[in-house]
Structure 1
Amino acid sequence: MTDMLRWDTTRLYSSPDSPQLDRDFRKATTEAQAFRERYQGKVATLDAAGLLEALTSYEQLQETAVLPQLYGHLLFASDSEADSNKALMQRGMEFGNSLSCEVMFFDLELMAIPEADFAPLAADERLANYRHHLGAIRRFQPHALPEKEEQLLTQKNLTGIQAFAKLFDELTASLSYRMELDGEERDFTGEELISLLHHPEAAVRERALTVFLNGHAEQGIVLSTVFNTVALDHSQEMQLRSYSDPMQPTNLGNELSMEAVEHLMSVTEANFPLAQEYFRIKAKLLGMKRLKNTDVYAPVGECHKTYSFDQAKQLVLDSYSSFNPDYAPLIEGFFTERRIDVEPRQGKSGGAFCMGLTPKLPPYLLLNFTGNLRDVATLAHESGHGLHYLRSQEQTMVNYHAPLPLAETASVFGEMLLTSRMLAQETDREVKISLLCATIEDIIATTFRQVVLTRFEQRLHLERKDGLLSSDRLCTIWWEENAKLFGDSVEMIEAYRWGWSYISHFIHTRFYCYAYTFAELLVLSLYARYQETGPSFVPAFDSVLRSGGSRSPADTAALAGIDINDPGFWQKGYDMLGGLIAELKQQL
């Protein structure tokens, strides 16, 4: 049975020493060299037919090159302690770095085409499928450097930012924690300790988070060095590329203005009192004067209820199938084809993710399932990511991945489907209260908390420009930003000062976190539209998933009748949250 809970990657390669791996690495290298020889210095001379041929060749190269790299990522995520996995992961990083240097001329030459020449080229119907992709590349033209400088930056990343990210992953995956539970002292993984935040006993919750964060504090020298290095590297690159703000490259990639992102976060912060109101309600439900931050996810109602993985799987399948029967077999494939890794274990990456490979290959899911309600929701969430990747497989390689603001659309919508189904089926008032609390907490975590994380990250990058940040300073920034959310409704435990130290988004993807807020509020609007229109909404939602990254966030949302430029758009989501809190009050 254990084998069925671990993914099977042999459909990609038979093993880390498969001869096919070597062949694919060599094939991609040969294709990259041939692409450079054919097109370097000639991109600006291509007509529409020639550019279409070049883009098609570029996508084929990417298809070949990405598979061995992502295979290495999957093996490393499932077991970062195996030397063979480490070696393949490193080989993939070095190979990807070299390949990027070989073909980066293509984007740079596309950027350099004068607008007067580019506009009629992009308007040609033969390039319609690539129009958005080409525009996305050209947005970065003011910040591009000459090719040799771009190559040097990319090459140095291997021993710089990428090396520190790999160190962070290996260190955090290797940590083990010793704690007493139910009269027995034993070793825990980090995921097992985090899952205890859903334990019915307050003392256990506080002890679990304290042990987990103290374990990170013991690695404070390494972790603070990693965070400082990430911020310094980003700062230096921003200077080289003449960006005005640390968030600017992320916002450009997301096709959102600085003003739009700031408005999103400001509206969120203005609604912090909603979260504080909920925290006070939950304190009463738990019989406490005031919550500690270790109590935020404490179970309410049927606090001892746990779910087997088979139960969780069926709940998720039923939820998606009730919305669109076509979705169930797609999600079922993760289980029948063993493209999901379920159990927590030493050396395995923490958290959960879905990895999309290419439009021609199915995605893989990683979980750390411990049986609580949050884990069921996580399965629904990651299954939504997988569904999104599968539906966008009608796109070609450059349009396969949805932009960050839309990357969470199917996943968060799937959680809403799960919650609504469970609420509709439940007749017990106490269980309904528990489900409502879980839903509200999830929205708080996916909107308010993500803005707190983004504000921390902003301060990390802005303050690091003035000098090295000590562990104490990082802890203080984290404490201050979280205090704005909690106000006087929640008491933070002392160990929570180190809450910044395990969040991998800060290391791997600059300013990713506000995309969760964007997606959650978008999904609340999408779900409200579904409630209003019923089954007729399904094709519109499916068109959002199928579009992948072929449109801007605004144009993609418009497919479902949503205008993200409406000045009141973000507040509508928080009004819906307020409605859920009011519904909870009626149940009390």
Structure 2
Amino acid sequence: MTEQTDRELRWELSALYSGPDDPRWEADLKQGQAQAGRFRHDFRGRIASDQLSPELLVAVLQRYEALQKQGLKPYLYAQLLFAADSSPPAHKALLARAREAWSAASEQLLFFELELLQLDNERYLCLLKDPEVARYAHYLNQMRAHAPYTLSEEVEQVLKRKELTGREAFVQLFEELTASLRFRFAMPGEEEPREVTGEELLALLHHPEGEVREGAFATFLGRHAENALVLSSCFNNILLDHAKEVELRRYPDIMTPTHLSSETEPAMVERMMQVTEANYSLAQEYFALKRQLLGRERMKNTDLYAPLGGQSRQIPYAEAKALVLEAFGGFSPRLAEEAGAFFTERRIDALPKPGKGGGAFCMGMLPGQAPYVLLNYTGNLRDVATLAHELGHGVHYALSQGQNLFQYHAPLPFAETASVFGEMLLTRHLLDRESDPRVKIELLCAKLEDIIATTFRQNVLTRFELAAHKKRAAGLLSPEEYCELWWSENARLFGDAVEMIEPYRWGWSYISHFIHSRFYCYSYVFGELLVLALYQKYLEEGAPFVPRYLELLAKGGSQPPAELLKPFGIDLADPDFWQKGYDFVEGLLKELRALVEAG
């Protein structure tokens, strides 16, 4: 790879700051802290007052939004630097400095939301009648939903201050440890082992040789097992921290904070998970079909993403870019235009390297600041789907730029709407341009594997997380106990169709969602099934669907989920809604089976 090409595949952050030593970074951080202090001086005691006018509330909200943008910009920049390369001490120091400064500023700002919660309901509803206040209605309503579980300002300040040396410290420890791990492995075609990244090993799960797949995954998991003491300590302390918060705030359930933030009903989520488990047989049917296609006597979990036909097609990054933009453009030129800007403005960091965080993400940044995408692109078909996925997120953020900061991000269950839809557009684009039945089989397999990973597997992850939290409440968990919980939940999905390799007991230890976002994984199930419903409507309606979909993305988090879905005639309370998604999956399975039998 040429130096020029390598440079083009790294993101360019100079639109934010010229580098970690840019004096503007420190100046912005200090300015954010100073604004927080002035905000507290100017408005503390004036919010929880009968004299609060709509005009004053709007002025306060605008000031609050402006100072948050001021303080968050340097923090987000530090996160981007650290994610792309956690090795330099300067990157670690910058992120630590940003976290500490933002924590201090947040303490100054706690009074604002606490005073808003003290407003009596009649006064609050009166304020909402003002059109300018109503622009913030969804944010204000969501905030007040947390009122029963909010503590005094003094207690909230102590919790915020202690978080730096508590939960946040273990989050950073997990990030630094997992990003620093190196693996000795003889890559295919090489005689001697060498140092490789975790992403390079995980990419080998798509290698045509079973021994390579199993060896790579076993090496990856084994290295994590060697760090069991630190990893299990991170899990134990983060789970204990959550349990103490639930106890302190008197939440009725360990998932209550997530439900409040996601605007989901516990009964609805549980029903969705039960329907998912009732359809585990669809996954097992696919696993049996994949085993037949591979010609294997038994199916291991390292065979799930094995390429068909004994070869793993490598897709150059330039081709992946073209495929995704073509797929997006076939749906809407606006979608392709917004996605294309990530490439022309160099807002994608694509190549795996030592010190870089694993996986992929899109950082939405702020209204007025363009989003960025991080990938670990190794050239397989799944990486192309990941590119479509993260650019879907990016388009979502780009279209919702018109929202205020508090309503910029979509509710958690909608966070995956554009990303999964982008993957569906890519799959259909690839299928439509392909005439070879063997390639169509490969594409359908890839799509079904993706749906299985995004629904059934994420359901397994959620059940594991719930089980771990509940068991941790009774006492410290050993690494072996985490392994057993993980093994048990995965066994429910795989049944007799898939044999798990022994090192897979450590599969829980590298999944960052457990560390960063409690119970986030069920949102993938929600998002995938919702997208299947939306995509089915697109197939039925064609062009008239497009502007309504773009409007949905542009609304960001400005409305509750039920309101966002009204234009599409979708009712999340419908008991049969979740099953319709799996009926769609069953249709894909039938299409695949017909192609296999015809061959």
* TM-score, length basis structure 2: 0.97
* 2:26 corresponds to which of 22, 27, 39: 22
* 1:63 corresponds to which of 66, 69, 77: 69
CA contact (8 A) 2:33 2:102 kept: no
CA distance in 2, matches of 1:303, 1:120: 66
Structure 2 residue 538 is matched with structure 1 residue 530 = yes
Structure 2 residue 111 is matched with structure 1 residue 105 = yes
Deviations along 1:80-123, one digit per CA (max 9) or x if unpaired, are: 01011001100111011111111011111111111122122223
Aligned to 1:277: 285
Aligned to 1:485: 493
Q: What is the letter of the counterpart of residue 232 of structure 1? A: L
Structure 2 residue 553 is matched with structure 1 residue 545 = yes
Structure 2 residue 425 is matched with structure 1 residue 417 = yes
1:558 CA drift (Å): 2.0
Deviations along 1:506-527, one digit per CA (max 9) or x if unpaired, are: 0001110000000000000000
CA distance in 2, matches of 1:328, 1:76: 29
Aligned to 2:405: 397
CA distance in 2, matches of 1:89, 1:336: 27
CA contact (8 A) 1:302 1:430 kept: no
Spell out the pairing of 1:432-451 with structure 2 (5 A cutoff).
432-451=440-459
1:217 CA drift (Å): 0.1
Structure 2 residue 563 is matched with structure 1 residue 555 = yes
Structure 2 residue 523 is matched with structure 1 residue 519 = no
CA contact (8 A) 1:475 1:497 kept: yes
Aligned to 1:316: 324
Aligned to 2:374: 366
Structure 2 residue 323 is matched with structure 1 residue 342 = no
Structure 2: 5+ residue runs without aligned partners?
A: none
CA contact (8 A) 1:301 1:433 kept: no
CA distance in 1, matches of 2:11, 2:286: 39
- Which consecutive segments of 4 or more residues in structure 1 shift more than 3 A? none
1:22 CA drift (Å): 1.7
Structure 2 residue 472 is matched with structure 1 residue 464 = yes
CA contact (8 A) 1:309 1:371 kept: yes
CA contact (8 A) 1:301 1:431 kept: no
Please identify, of 486-495 and 172-181, the stretch whose mean Cα deviation from structure 2 is larger: 172-181
What is the DSSP-based 3-state SS (H/G/I as helix, E as strand, rest coil) of the residue aligned with 1:245? coil
What is the DSSP-based 3-state SS (H/G/I as helix, E as strand, rest coil) of the residue aligned with 2:568? coil
Aligned to 1:159: 165
Aligned to 1:215: 223
CA distance in 2, matches of 1:136, 1:117: 17
CA distance in 2, matches of 1:2, 1:483: 42
CA distance in 2, matches of 1:304, 1:208: 16
Aligned to 1:455: 463
CA distance in 1, matches of 2:120, 2:201: 56
Aligned to 1:586: 594
1:246 CA drift (Å): 1.2
1:554 CA drift (Å): 1.6
CA contact (8 A) 2:11 2:346 kept: yes
Deviations along 1:450-494, one digit per CA (max 9) or x if unpaired, are: 010000100111111100000000000000000000011000000
Distance 1:302 1:423, change over 3 A: farther
CA distance in 2, matches of 1:295, 1:108: 52
1:124 CA drift (Å): 2.6
CA distance in 1, matches of 2:468, 2:590: 37
* 1:47 corresponds to which of 28, 41, 53: 53
Structure 2 residue 285 is matched with structure 1 residue 294 = no
Give the total of aligned pairs.
588
Aligned to 1:331: 339
CA contact (8 A) 1:280 1:290 kept: no
Structure 2 residue 415 is matched with structure 1 residue 426 = no
Please identify, of 179-188 and 152-161, the stretch whose mean Cα deviation from structure 2 is larger: 179-188
* 1:386 corresponds to which of 391, 394, 397: 394
Deviations along 1:136-184, one digit per CA (max 9) or x if unpaired, are: 0000001000011001011101011001000100100111111123242
CA distance in 2, matches of 1:319, 1:403: 26
Aligned to 1:239: 247
Q: What is the letter of the counterpart of residue 19 of structure 1? A: P
Structure 1: 5+ residue runs without aligned partners?
A: none
CA distance in 1, matches of 2:208, 2:310: 10
1:559 CA drift (Å): 3.2
CA distance in 1, matches of 2:17, 2:247: 42
Please identify, of 517-526 and 301-310, the stretch whose mean Cα deviation from structure 2 is larger: 301-310
* 1:250 corresponds to which of 255, 258, 270: 258
Deviations along 1:278-304, one digit per CA (max 9) or x if unpaired, are: 101111000112210001111124733
What is the DSSP-based 3-state SS (H/G/I as helix, E as strand, rest coil) of the residue aligned with 2:308? coil
CA distance in 1, matches of 2:500, 2:566: 41
CA distance in 2, matches of 1:302, 1:186: 25
* 1:565 corresponds to which of 546, 559, 573: 573
Aligned to 2:39: 35
Deviations along 1:403-428, one digit per CA (max 9) or x if unpaired, are: 11001110000000000000001111
1:55 CA drift (Å): 0.7
CA distance in 2, matches of 1:371, 1:15: 30
CA distance in 1, matches of 2:531, 2:348: 25
CA contact (8 A) 2:139 2:406 kept: yes
CA contact (8 A) 1:457 1:511 kept: yes
Aligned to 1:129: 135
Please identify, of 561-570 and 30-39, the stretch whose mean Cα deviation from structure 2 is larger: 561-570
Structure 2 residue 147 is matched with structure 1 residue 172 = no
Q: What is the letter of the counterpart of residue 579 of structure 2? A: Q
What is the DSSP-based 3-state SS (H/G/I as helix, E as strand, rest coil) of the residue aligned with 2:195? strand
Aligned-pair identity (%): 53
Q: What is the letter of the counterpart of residue 418 of structure 1? A: L
CA contact (8 A) 1:543 1:559 kept: no
CA distance in 1, matches of 2:379, 2:569: 37
Q: What is the letter of the counterpart of residue 505 of structure 1? A: H
1:125 CA drift (Å): 2.3
Please identify, of 279-288 and 123-132, the stretch whose mean Cα deviation from structure 2 is larger: 123-132
CA contact (8 A) 1:76 1:89 kept: yes
CA contact (8 A) 2:206 2:312 kept: no
CA distance in 2, matches of 1:301, 1:315: 22
What is the DSSP-based 3-state SS (H/G/I as helix, E as strand, rest coil) of the residue aligned with 2:556? coil
Structure 2 residue 229 is matched with structure 1 residue 229 = no
* 1:5 corresponds to which of 5, 9, 32: 9
1:549 CA drift (Å): 0.8
Distance 1:187 1:119, change over 3 A: same
Aligned to 2:315: 307
Q: What is the letter of the counterpart of residue 171 of structure 1? A: L
